[in-house]
A and B are shown apart, each in its own frame.
Chain A
Amino acid sequence: MDIYRAHVLCCGGTGCTSSGSAQLIQRFEEKIKENGLDKEVKVIRTGCFGLCEAGPVVIVYPEGTFYSRVKVDDVDEIVTEHLLKGRKVQHLVYSDHATHEQNANKSLQDINFYKHQHRIALRNCGVIDPENIDEYLAFDGYKALEKALTTMTREQVIEEILKSGLRGRGGGGFPTGLKWKFAAASVADQKYVACNADEGDPGAFMDRSVLEGDPHAVLEAMAIAGYAIGASEGYIYVRAEYPIAVKRLEIAIGQAREYGLLGENIFETGFNFDIKIRLGAGAFVCGEETALMRSIEGKRGEPTPRPPFPAVKGLFAKPTMLNNVETYANVAQIILNGADWFASMGTEKSKGTKVFALGGKINNTGLVEVPMGTPLRTIIYDIGGGIPNGKKFKAVQTGGPSGGCLPAELLDTPVDYDNLIAAGSMMGSGGMIVMDEDNCMVDIARFFLDFTVDESCGKCAPCRIGTRRMLEILERIVNGKGEEGDIEKLENLANTIKATALCGLGQTAPNPVLSTIKFFRHEYEAHIREKKCPAHHCQALLSYVIDPSKCRGCTACARVCPGGAISGEVKNPHVIDPSKCLKCGACIEKCRFGAISKQ
């Protein structure tokens, strides 16, 4: 292998690709060549570094200098200053939100965002070139598969996973080793290993980043699972909306076959295993395990009752073992480092780490991986850098459409499967959305119900009809037509749906409503009784008013109002006619005296 004196790592994750990293990489390559550095400096396109908000992200090694929001025009300066003359380009170096510290001598690990993290599932993301199997191999890639195949029995592999305490990262938290054990116990001429890469939680992108940044980690783990349960075929079901992930998976599978790490007689042990990719087509319910299998079979993705469980009768009616992408991303490390190593991290019943997609009203949006048991507060304030624009924290949503919203009083909750459920939410797959004082919790509940109504497959009545009734009530409330007794109606419907829906989608759909009623009941009451939205978010409940003591009568607002709702003499206080006001907000922006407000 060629030796380079410096490496330029450019993020090629979806976030950074969206903000222009492909052009950046091209420019780096051109400029480096132009300056005759192409034998000394290597450009690598990696997966997501996690700090997508600061993208496009570029890291220059050996120093580990972290450049953020790099533009194509900045490339020349980095090449001529940093790479040619060894002088870091200070003004492009990432500055910490919390401390506004911009220190080019800090390495990645010293940045607040990374300091509290512990990366197992994301260990190679942002470190290796995901399209080059040699880089994965250089970081102990496929060593776990070799170890399992050549030195461990199938039972020992399952025992190791069982002992590690690994639980499913797709949302349910079912012990992974147990699932493998059940599938191994089924007797059949054909079994399947499947990977759930459908990532349905809107606002979450952990699995996508693993696939884009370290696809071989998933392939290796699937092969290990195949050995453990006695399957020779694997399927990855991945969202069609993830084109970069699909492409990298295809490349990775091709390379693994070429190296004999997939296919026949792997490591000369007589073990055969190969993997196929299947694309989803935009249906949230297909993340549910039985629906996913129907979809791979080419049918409508409707859930089927369990039992029979997939471990007995799954894909094409054969025993099937399904795990989530992030679950798989832990497996090779457990085999290599041992169950005790993994179990030493986390809490009593939740071992290891969890990846979260931190988003919403937070300074550092991105992907974070922390040991189980890390308090919400650490994630939101120390890693996430708190709430932007001096606003007040209101709630954090976890578990996506199946989860709930937790208020400030619960910020010290240690994050693990059981604590989150006890607090009134759930772990889910790892979406973590922060909301501030401007977000209306009734509207958030309506937003999630709108999602489930849209995504309900319609097979069972409680979900198809019940969630629609709930949505209608919520829509009424946010439109100022809420009635006394609506909260109780919502609760009744919620409990009925939870108890009677066929699959997890319906059973968990009421959670966002129940948790917001539990913690933010006063917001519901204000909408219903006072016809007010405390967050000033719900259009129908807003009125725009001019404070006569602040109004100078400049007429700026009247001129911009599209509804002709503002009247008044020049130099005299103006008034807004609520019956004509369209609630567009244009007047507020125009008023230089801060006389207009939403109430």
Chain B
Amino acid sequence: MPDNKDKYEQLNQVIAELKDQPGALMPVLQRAQGIFGCVPMDVQKIIAEGLGVTLSEVYGVATFYSQFRLEPNGKYTISVCLGTACYVKGSQKVLDRLSEELKTPVGKTSPDGLFTLNATRCLGACGLAPVMTINDEVYGRLVPDDIPGILAKYREQA
């Protein structure tokens, strides 16, 4: 896989670039996730070796923060806001409907590998509550009945 080899080269470059700055582990993990889409074990091993820390330290950090994923996401990542402003305006119902339509529990990827369903906290668009994002697209003032139509749009373009 020439494509993947390229990614590992990028990772090594990132490690070389950041290795000497204090507290490099987090920024390296963040950049690694940017390159690979997630930080699986083999990537963690390379980071541990590159930074001269133990694998358990890398693993400990990668699993502590909810931002890091050990497995790749689906093509579309859906994040429904469960911040207080959205919750009091019914975002739980939106999330429930998505879970039902996708037959996927929160935090998991749909059987067809297309959608990953997440709950997040405040996206900073509380004025539009309830809010969700699909990749970089923001949807506001949602009601559960909006969901089938929105999903259909993505299924079509997939």
Contacts and interface: CB of A to CB of B under 8 A. Distances in A.
Nearest to A362: B85
Nearest to B60: A300
Interface stretch (A123-131, A181-189, A199-207, A469-477): A199-207
A18 B140 contact: yes
A199 B128 CA distance: 19
Contacts of A284: 121
B127 A55 contact: yes
A360 B130 CA distance: 9
Interface stretch (A33-41, A74-82, A323-331, A431-439): A431-439
Interface residues of B, number: 37
Nearest to B28: A298
B32 interface: no
Interface string B123-148: 11111110100000010100000000
B146 to A, nearest CB: 15
Interface stretch (B7-15, B17-25, B108-116, B150-158): B17-25
A316 interface: yes
Contact-residue bracket for chain A: 35 or more
B122 interface: yes
Nearest to B129: A359
Contact of B61 (A201, A241, A300, A365): A300
A447 B125 CA distance: 20
A14 B30 CA distance: 22
B85 A359 contact: yes
Given A281-B65, A366-B127, A202 B26 contact: no
Interface string A14-35: 1101110000000000000000
A585 B86 CA distance: 20
Contacts of B23: 278, 296-299, 316
B88 A435 contact: yes
Contacts of B129: 359-360, 365
Nearest to A204: B122
Nearest to A295: B26
B74 interface: no
Contact of A18 (B27, B66, B138): B138
A21 to B, nearest CB: 11
Contact of A316 (B22, B87, B120): B22
A283 interface: yes
Contacts of A283: 64-66
Contacts of A54: 127
Contacts of B82: 202
Contacts of B127: 15, 51-55, 359, 365-366
A397 B84 contact: yes
A527 interface: no
B83 interface: yes
Interface in B54-98: 57, 60-61, 64-68, 82-89
A205 B84 CA distance: 12
Contacts of B138: 17-19
B88 A360 contact: yes
A282 B107 CA distance: 14
Interface string A248-283: 000000000000000000000000000000111111
B128 A360 contact: no
A202 B122 contact: yes
A172 to B, nearest CB: 20
A366 B128 CA distance: 10
Contact of A433 (B64, B65, B66, B85): B85
A298 B20 CA distance: 13
B126 to A, nearest CB: 4
Given A18-B140, A203-B84, A439-B88, A357 B126 contact: yes
A436 B67 CA distance: 33
B87 A447 contact: yes
Interface string A290-314: 0000011111111000000000000
Nearest to A294: B23
A53 B128 CA distance: 6
Interface string A370-410: 00000000000000000000000000010010000000000
Interface in A47-98: 51-55
B61 A444 contact: no
**Chain A CB within 10 A, most for which of B25, B82, B84:** B84
A457 to B, nearest CB: 8
Interface string A414-435: 0000000000000000010111
A241 B88 contact: no
B148 to A, nearest CB: 14
Contacts of A433: 84-85, 88
Nearest to A276: B21
A88 B68 CA distance: 50
A246 B57 CA distance: 27
Contacts of A361: 88-89
Given A298-B61, A433-B84, A52 B125 contact: yes
A435 B125 CA distance: 18
Nearest to A433: B84
24 contacts: A14-B123, A15-B124, A52-B125, A52-B128, A200-B121, A203-B85, A203-B86, A205-B126, A241-B120, A242-B124, A280-B65, A281-B66, A283-B64, A284-B121, A296-B23, A300-B61, A357-B85, A359-B84, A361-B89, A365-B129, A397-B84, A400-B84, A433-B84, A435-B88
Given A360-B88, A433-B88, A447-B84, 6 more contacts: A15-B126, A241-B124, A297-B22, A300-B61, A359-B127, A365-B129
